[in-house]
């Protein structure tokens, strides 16, 4: 979504990059940093954990791929500097995000989809507004559900942050 927004997306080139970077169905944030680097997109990757956080191993969302992905992901972190992928261990505040967005930038953020709110949905949410009508919402499982969204703006008065959800790419929340 971000590459398309920045006019860096050619489907053949994207598929080639996916193969070269050996991206699988299990995409981690570090994978996105390598993908941005591959396409020459200036970016900043902030994380609280340099490597895989073993605390997520038993979460249902990670359980299936955790053991096979742990070494791959840790290796990407270890090689990041040599591959010119900037990784910073830091915390990002809402004010940092607002400043970044106010400069015309976007941000890819890993969130717990269970906690996403949409002002367009009624409460309680029976179906997620990000999915086609009638499809059960993936994000109402009480366990952690890691999901990437693209922050694209904010409302200073209400404090709301607008985002695009790749699960439903043509709507802004």
Q: Pick the residue with more confidence: 127 or 112?
A: 112
Give the pLDDT of residue 122.
Answer: 46
How many percent of the chain have pLDDT more than 90?
A: 25
* Full-model pTM: 0.77
| DSSP string of the chain, one letter each residue | -HHHHTT---HHHHHHHHHHTT--SS--HHHHHHHHHHTT----EEES-SS--GGGTTSHHHHTTHHHHHHHHHHHHHHTTTTT--EEE----HHHHHHHHHTT--EEEEEEGGG---TTS-SS-SS-TTS-TTSPPGGGSSS--EEEEEEEEE-TTT--EEEEETTEEEEE-
Sequence length of the chain is: 173
pLDDT digits (tens, 9 = 90+) for 4-22: 777 767 788 888 888 899 8
């Amino acid at each position: 979504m971000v590459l398309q927004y920045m006019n860096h997306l050619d489907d053949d080139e994207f598929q080639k990059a996916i193969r070269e970077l050996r991206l699988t169905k299990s995409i981690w944030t570090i994978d996105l940093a390598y993908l941005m680097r591959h396409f020459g997109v200036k970016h900043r990757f902030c994380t609280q954990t340099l490597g895989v956080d073993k605390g997520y191993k038993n979460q249902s969302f990670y359980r299936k791929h955790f053991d096979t992905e742990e070494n791959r992901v840790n290796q990407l972190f270890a090689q990041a500097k040599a591959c010119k992928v900037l990784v910073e261990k830091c915390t990002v505040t809402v004010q940092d995000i607002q400043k970044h967005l106010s400069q015309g930038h976007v941000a890819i953020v890993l969130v717990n989809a269970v906690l996403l709110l949409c002002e367009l949905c009624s409460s309680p949410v029976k179906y997620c507004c990000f999915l086609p009508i009638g499809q059960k919402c993936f994000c109402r499982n009480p366990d952690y559900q890691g999901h990437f969204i693209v922050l694209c703006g904010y409302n200073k008065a209400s404090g709301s942050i607008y985002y695009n959800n790749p699960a439903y790419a043509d709507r802004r929340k």
